[in-house]
Amino acid sequence: QVPYQPSSPRQVANTLALLRGRTGKTVDLGSGDGRLVLEAYKQGLRPALGYELNPWLLCLANYRAWRAGYHGKISFLKKDLWKVNLSDCHNVIVFLAPSMKPPLATKLLAELPDDARVVAGRYPFPSWSPSSTLGQGLDQVWAYDIKEVRREVQGRAQQSQV
């Protein structure tokens, strides 16, 4: 269980700025009240969906989507992020605790296509180098292009074999 902390307006803006100009399926892992998914949809990232286990937050997210006029256009699913297949996702948003980042990094590298971008909020992935970053302090977000991350990880693996 990860404690719920809503994203600030600046975190949302920074996250979506790092996804500007991109296309394809966009998911928020641990989508909370849905604000990042709503904003992604507004900015043309479609389909946009969130995975969340907390039933109260799912209810709130669906209410917010309905209130914004997006009922049936955005999906919020009660699914464990460890059990979903992300192979068709091109944009992944992750605002999760640091302890979840190492195992999540392994899952993302195994499943995401080369052209995928991961945007992390609050905490970076400790073993990945970001392709770009935006904001400062609590509002900072990090973008990782999976093709570059794979190249970096493979390079480290080859060096350790020498």
Mean pLDDT for the stretch of residues 15-33: 97
Q: What are phi and psi of 139, to 5 degrees?
A: -90, 0
- The reply to whether 39 falls in a domain is yes
Q: What is the 3-state secondary structure (H, E, C) of 69-109?
A: CCECCEEEECCCCCCCCCCCCCEEEECCCHHHHHHHHHHHH
| pLDDT, mean of residues 135-149 | 96
**What integer best gives the mean pLDDT of the chain?**
94
pTM value? 0.94
Residue 102 in domain: yes
State how many domains the chain has.
1
4 within a domain of the structure (yes/no): no
The domain of 36 spans 9-160
User: Does the pLDDT at position 161 exceed 90?
Assistant: no
pLDDT value at residue 148: 97
Q: Which residues contact 118 (CB under 8 A, 6 or more apart)?
A: 92, 93, 94, 108, 112, 125, 143, 144, 146
Query: Does the pLDDT at position 162 exceed 80?
Result: no
pLDDT in tens, 87-131: 999 999 999 999 999 999 999 999 999 999 999 999 999 999 999
* Residue 146 located in a structural domain: yes
Domain assignment of residue 3, yes or no: no
CATH number assigned to the domain comprising residue 61: 3.40.50.150
pLDDT at 48: 97
Q: At residue 111, what is the residue type?
A: E
